[in-house]
């Protein structure tokens, strides 16, 4: 169990006493792909950390679509925001078979009050998420075309969740055009059309909901407007 704790980013600078206390409080559970961990505005009492897998945090829309706000992977904390108010602000869906480390909110607060490194790590995590949201607002503005939004999103996902394969970097979870449109906040038809543009340029490959990026640098160049095509 101690080895599992050290996989979590928030716990990597903790002293032995804090880790020892955490060991008495945590439990590990496995979930299936597609499970809804919690819903928007639900009252929950558990802090969740990803040991293995991918989780999507999203805001449900009135028309039953989603606006995906965050995608998290190994080592990430999902909902430290409930430390201050145990009402969730987003829904959480698991995109792969996922192993979670779980701690009761009240137990976690007890350690937080005694451990400066942990408190600092929580604050830094919240700041990081605010920065991600700021970048999302910038990159989904009307001044950036959908094709460039797709290019940057896939570049970022490949950096965060990519694995090396024969033909480049594969995003290591199923990503449908519908879900990509929910990440971008754009119409599915538009995303489908612009994805084909990137595919025809050889910047991406899509097979059975798996995106592969042959050259990450070229995709970033496309986003920045410096990619030169030979077509």
Note the pLDDT tens digit of each residue in 105-120. 999 999 999 999 999 9
Q: Would residue 107 count as lying in a domain?
A: yes
3-state secondary structure of 84: coil
Considering the chain, what percentage of its residues have pLDDT values greater than 70?
95
pTM for the whole structure: 0.89
65 pLDDT tier (thresholds 50, 70, 90): confident
pLDDT at 38 over 80: yes
Percent helix, percent strand, percent coil in the chain, to nearest 5: 45, 25, 30
Q: Please work out, in degrees rounded to the nearest 5, the angle formed at the alpha carbon of residue 54 by the alpha carbons of 212 and 132.
A: 85
Q: State yes or no: pLDDT of 133 exceeds 90.
A: no
Question: 26 and 83 share a domain?
Answer: yes
Two tokens at 163? Answer: 């694995």
Give the model's confidence band at 228: pLDDT under 50 very low, under 70 low, under 90 confident, else very high: confident
Tell me which of 105, 140, 175 is where a domain ends.
Answer: 140
**pLDDT value at residue 89:** 86
Same domain, 1 and 107: yes
The domain of 25 spans: 1-140
Interacting residues of 138 by C-beta distance below 8 A, sequence separation 6+: 144
Is pLDDT of 59 > 80?
yes
- Band (138; pLDDT cuts 50, 70, 90): low
Question: Do both 171 and 135 map to the same domain?
Answer: no
Are both 19 and 93 inside the same structural domain? yes
Model confidence at 141: pLDDT above 60: no
More confident residue, 218 or 231: 218
């Amino acid at each position: 169990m101690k080895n599992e704790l050290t996989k979590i980013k928030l716990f990597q600078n903790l002293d032995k006493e804090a880790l020892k206390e955490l060991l008495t409080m945590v439990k590990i559970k496995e979930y299936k792909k597609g499970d809804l961990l919690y819903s928007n505005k639900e009252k929950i009492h558990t802090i969740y950390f990803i040991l293995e897998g991918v989780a999507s945090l999203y805001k449900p829309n009135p028309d039953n679509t989603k606006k995906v706000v965050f995608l998290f992977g190994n080592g990430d904390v999902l909902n430290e925001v409930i430390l201050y108010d145990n009402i969730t602000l987003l829904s959480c869906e698991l995109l792969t078979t996922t192993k979670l480390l779980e701690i009761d909110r009240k137990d976690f607060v007890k350690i937080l009050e005694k451990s400066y490194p942990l408190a600092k790590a929580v604050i830094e995590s919240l700041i990081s998420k605010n920065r991600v949201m700021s970048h999302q607002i910038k990159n989904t503005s009307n001044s950036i075309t959908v094709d460039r939004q797709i290019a940057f999103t896939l570049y970022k996902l490949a950096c965060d969740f990519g694995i090396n394969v024969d033909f480049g970097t594969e995003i290591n979870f199923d990503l449908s055009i519908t879900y990509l449109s929910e990440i971008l906040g754009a119409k599915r038809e538009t995303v489908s059309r612009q994805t084909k543009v990137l595919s025809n340029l050889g910047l991406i490959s899509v097979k059975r909901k798996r995106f592969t990026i042959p050259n990450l640098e070229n995709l970033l160049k496309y986003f920045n407007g410096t990619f030169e095509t030979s077509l």
